[in-house]
Amino acid sequence: MNQQPMGAPKPAVSKWLWIVLIVVVLGAAGYFGWYYLMGPGKKVETSTSTPTATTTTPSTNTTTPTTTTPTTTDKTAGWKTYTNETYGFSFKYPSSMTLSEKTWSKDGDEVIALTNTDSKTKTPDMTVRYSKLTAKTDEVTSNTIGVWLKDKFTSEITAKNVTTETINGVKFNDAEMQADPSYFAMLVSNDNGIYAIDFSVQSKATLTETLKTLLTTFKFTK
């Protein structure tokens, strides 16, 4: 009877080789898994965001000063200018006043008269008289004014509260004239003579602003 030959046994080395290989593979997998997930090979995401610096500009409440240029009002705008070539003086006056000029006057008589157009009495608000007297303004006193006026008009007049003032370089002697009626006068002189500017009020305090402004325009022309 024929016997089948028995197969040759598989070598044991091959079995253990596979076992070792599997162990090595598993070990390597475990090692690399640990290395990249838990060990030094783990990637750590680092935030590289640069902090934004916030600069706060302090609020400055600065008020720019406003420069206001004062407006100068010309009180004589639209006024007329009167010039007397014979007696050498001039001044400005408003168109609301009427000026009458004497073509001839004796020494000491009025040269011009200025009257408010709306005046019901037609009494001059201002008159200017001239005399060839040689007295200077600084020599005019209560006595000399009274004597001068009395000589020229043969009436009893006395001067009261005589004061001196300079308006735009022109020196005046102010006086309250005690007469009938009383009035206020301002006397001024130069080398040509003496001028009396008379007003139909009793004191300078009662002069209108218009007449006060008019006085600032009075000047000599020769």
Higher-pLDDT residue of 206, 189: 206
Domain ranges within the chain, ordered by starting residue: 15-42, 80-220
Sheet order of strands, 183-190 included: 97-101, 110-116, 126-131, 193-199, 183-190, 170-178, 158-167
| Span 181-203, pLDDT tens digits | 788 888 888 888 888 899 999 88
> Closest by alpha carbon to 161, among 139, 176, 179, 141?
176
pLDDT at 4: 52
Just give the CATH number of 80-220.
3.40.1000.10
Residues 4-46: pLDDT tens digits?
555 555 555 677 777 777 877 777 777 766 666 666 655 555 5
pLDDT of residue 143: 54
The count of residues in the chain is 222
